[in-house]
Structure 1
Amino acid sequence: MSAPQPLESQNESAQVKARRGFLGVAAAGLVGVMLAPGIRLIEIAQAATVDTSATGANPKVRWGMLIDTTKCTPGCSDCVKACNTENGLSGGTKSTDSQWIRKIEIKEVRTGKTQSLPVMCQHCAEPPCVDVCPTGASFKRADGIVLVDKHLCIGCRYCMMACPYKARSFVHEPLDNQKPDAPRGKGTVESCTLCVHKVDRGESPACVSACSAAGHGAMEFGDLNDPNSDISRRIRDIQTTQLRADLKLDPGVHYHGI
């Protein structure tokens, strides 16, 4: 018969078992996330949507944008400059710099017709970036604006791979001179926020305001859920399309003329 262990050894043994038990539970949780991300991540995303409604996001509203490419000229970058200024972006002076909105040129193969249009986060009703995020950092507000919580983002960049619009950027370097309304951070992912800080004050995104101030009138912002809003009436009156509508993500950005 073995001699009883000293009390100190018994306590140490209990601590080891407790640690093993905790690690086992943690490992099981991680396996659950890895094996069934759809269920877990959708639940997180839905929880985030519900929580944000208490902070000012109106679930009856769906904010969106209409871009008239027939009024968007190839050499114009007013919307891009406005976005950079409002959110403290450098303007793409380096290949690793963030771009929340960019101008692209498209060409119709059959006719040779070229068009210029701005592309940013499309603020999808079914955002794939939210579905693949392992921490819930990517989330959709109750009013349809898709955002990234920098406190939860671990920089895995799954959302960047999932986005069919290449609308997200990764912050590679330390940042300074940041804007109080647009917090950013090294090692995190970011994208167009529709200038959510301005929207919550009853204003339009910086890109839309700049386009209007310059007299172009190519961008319009408003509530897609309100049938009487200017943007809803115009979408009914003219032919519009959504980028990669075949993916059935229901983007909040509509385009006319493409």
Structure 2
Amino acid sequence: MKKDSTSPSTGTTDAKTGRRGFLGVAAAGLAGVMIAPGVRLIEIAQAGPPASAPSPGASNKVRWGMLIDSGKCTSGCTDCVTACNTENGLSGGTRTTDSQWIRKIEIKEVRTGKTQSLPVMCQHCAEPPCVDVCPTGASFKRADGIVLVDKHTCIGCRYCVMACPYKARSFVHEPQNDQKPDVPRGMGTVEGCTLCVHKVDRGEQPACVSACSDAGHGAMVFGDLNDPNSEISRRVASYPSRQIREDLNLNTGVRYTGI
């Protein structure tokens, strides 16, 4: 009887190769069909980007900014501060451990003695120092100029707090309860004014601007600094405006008139 030309060892190898090939094809097929009960990869692909993906509205064609008229901002008025606290779920406390995304300050002209009241918040710099010093990339600037903090990657080192010349960053010292769905906060992280980015992405105004307008003050204007036809651009072009700490050349998105 003629002996089979395939040795036992070769036959075993071929069998293993065949099984691996079959399993590889099967796995690829299953991966294309199901990754969890009731979830198909094709459905995930068709669903588009996840909710955490950058908003389509974050375009470098836009530069969101705010213009504050100090002549219309009265001493003692805290409508913008209250609106910010309410919108973002802040306590409104003034302890050093309380988060303050916007605060009212009083400035005085030494020569004339004239005093003015101004709201100060994150200035949303084009060259933000907080972003430069952040070791994890948690502090970042969107394409449309809004400066934010990614809570998932913030390690609470507070380098950005020290780097900000406007004292606009706060560290969250305590556990956060009853948070607003659009404004995630977390103990051990840093936060600051977001220009109410969740509202801006819906085509709305920041809470402070809306409150100032509703109260009839009209001291705050929000809009696209890159659009020459926007109200904020027309005002900046028509009236002298200044940036706080212009000497730092940070090109802030928040401007002031009358100071």
Q: Does 1:199 align with 2:200?
A: yes
Distance in 1 between the 2:215 and 2:207 partners?
A: 12
Q: Does 1:138 align with 2:146?
A: no
Q: What amino acid sits opposite 2:83 in the alignment?
A: A
Q: Give 1:53 deviation, angstroms.
A: 5.6
| Aligned 1:1-258 pairs, distance under 5 A | 55-258=56-259
Q: Give 1:93 deviation, angstroms.
A: 4.8
Q: Give 1:59 deviation, angstroms.
A: 1.3
Q: Give 1:55 deviation, angstroms.
A: 4.2
Distance in 2 between the 1:120 and 1:194 partners?
A: 9
Q: Percent identity?
A: 81
User: Which is richer in helix?
Assistant: 1
Distance in 2 between the 1:79 and 1:95 partners?
A: 20
Q: Give 1:239 deviation, angstroms.
A: 1.0
Does the Cα contact within 8 Å between 2:138 and 2:149 map onto a contact in 1? yes
SS at match of 2:223: strand
Q: Give 1:95 deviation, angstroms.
A: 2.9
Distance in 1 between the 2:146 and 2:113 partners?
A: 35
SS at match of 1:179: coil
Distance in 1 between the 2:152 and 2:178 partners?
A: 19
Q: What amino acid sits opposite 2:235 in the alignment?
A: R
Question: Tell me, which stretches of 5 or more residues in structure 1 are unaligned?
Answer: 1-50
Change (3 A) 1:52 1:220: farther
Does the Cα contact within 8 Å between 1:52 and 1:141 map onto a contact in 2? no
Q: What amino acid sits opposite 2:114 in the alignment?
A: K
SS at match of 2:213: helix
Q: Give 1:58 deviation, angstroms.
A: 1.4
Distance in 2 between the 1:93 and 1:167 partners?
A: 14
Change (3 A) 1:233 1:150: same
TM-score in terms of structure 2 length: 0.79
TM-score in terms of structure 1 length: 0.79
Q: What amino acid sits opposite 1:124 in the alignment?
A: C
Instruction: Give 1:4's aligned residue.
Output: none
Q: Give 1:94 deviation, angstroms.
A: 3.2
Q: What amino acid sits opposite 2:158 in the alignment?
A: R
Deviations 1:208-243 (A, max 9, x none): 000000000000000000111110000111110000
Change (3 A) 1:220 1:53: same
Distance in 1 between the 2:142 and 2:68 partners?
A: 22
Distance in 2 between the 1:85 and 1:251 partners?
A: 25
Distance in 1 between the 2:182 and 2:56 partners?
A: 15
Distance in 2 between the 1:153 and 1:82 partners?
A: 26
Does the Cα contact within 8 Å between 1:53 and 1:142 map onto a contact in 2? no
Instruction: Give 1:18's aligned residue.
Output: none
Distance in 1 between the 2:155 and 2:102 partners?
A: 23
Moved more, 103-112 or 52-61: 52-61
SS at match of 1:86: helix
Change (3 A) 1:62 1:53: farther
Distance in 1 between the 2:250 and 2:234 partners?
A: 22
Deviations 1:43-96 (A, max 9, x none): xxxxxxxx9766431110000000000000011000000000000000025331
Distance in 2 between the 1:231 and 1:170 partners?
A: 31
CA root-mean-square deviation: 1.2
Q: What amino acid sits opposite 1:125 in the alignment?
A: A
Distance in 2 between the 1:94 and 1:66 partners?
A: 28
